[in-house]
Amino acid sequence: MEKIQGLEISQHHVSDRIVLITIKKETLEKLKKPFKRFDLTALEYKPFTRFTIANILNEITSNKLNILINKIIRDRNTGCFIIHPEVNKKKINSDFLLKLSTAVAHLIGIPNHDLMAGKYYARFHVKHEDNSDSYLRKAYVKN
């Protein structure tokens, strides 16, 4: 795996096709001050702001993170990456993580606008359970 300062890059324990990118605490600390300049309203309404925070993230990683993640998603041997920030929950809040995920998304390319939410980013919580009786919602479960 490639070495990028401030990141730890490894294969995920579940599959060789998944690349785990851990953003170290010191890198997150470097991002806090520049990210703080932008509020979520600016992210939502000013496209240039989204590209600015993506550029900040890329510069902190020596302009290599965008190359790495684009290489991963275009390679049939990988195709997937998981970003894992070493988060101290007392120091880093959900707004910071939203800015981080927006920056990562914009390093890949210009994301689509979500018409239902009216946003260029999404907050969601995935709960892996379902109480319905539909086989369509439980396609991965053997009957």
Helix (H) or strand (E) holding 37: none
State yes or no: pLDDT of 130 exceeds 70.
no
Average pLDDT, the chain: 83
Q: At what angle do helices 25-36 and 94-108 cross, to 10 degrees?
A: 90
pTM: 0.76
Average pLDDT over residues 30-51: 90
Better-scored residue on pLDDT, 93 or 65: 65
Q: How much is the average pLDDT of 4-25?
A: 93
What are the Cα distances from residue 1, in Å, to 59, 68, 72? 20, 10, 11
Binning pLDDT at 50, 70 and 90, where does residue 22 land? Answer: very high
